[in-house]
């Protein structure tokens, strides 16, 4: 069951606005179990999918899965689908 869905979600780092690469998630979904899903549509193969996955997942974790004061055991399950 989908609890929340949003399109074209931007994740920016305001502290490093002009230095950090920004991320725009095509489709972001959370389900009834609290899992986070990012669905991405790519038009070209830049031969960097592994590193792109790593960066997108780190940005998802930063914003959506682990709140300050929580332990790493509190990380929600997160999935990226390309």
Query: For residues 20 and 36, is the Cβ–Cβ distance under 8 A?
Result: no
Report pTM: 0.78
pLDDT at 39: 93
Report phi then psi at 71, rounded to 5.
Answer: -95, 170
The full set of domain ranges for the chain reads 2-81
pLDDT at 37: 95
Question: What is the per-residue pLDDT across 7-65, written as a single tens digit (0 to 9) for each?
Answer: 988 887 766 566 777 888 889 999 999 999 999 988 888 888 889 899 989 888 888 88
> Parallel, antiparallel, or unpaired for β 36-39 and 23-31?
antiparallel
Angle at the Cα of 44 (from 40 to 48), degrees rounded to 5? 75
For residue 74, give the 3-state DSSP assignment: helix
CA distance 35 to 19: 30
pLDDT at 45: 82
pLDDT at 17: 64
């Amino acid at each position: 069951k989908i609890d929340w869905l949003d399109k074209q979600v931007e994740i920016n780092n305001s502290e490093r606005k002009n230095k950090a690469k920004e991320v725009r998630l095509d489709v972001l979904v959370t389900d009834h179990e609290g899992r986070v899903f990012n669905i991405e549509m790519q038009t070209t193969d830049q031969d960097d999918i592994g590193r792109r996955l790593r960066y997108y997942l780190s940005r998802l974790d930063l914003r959506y899965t682990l709140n300050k004061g929580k332990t790493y055991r509190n990380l929600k399950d997160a999935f990226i689908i390309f």
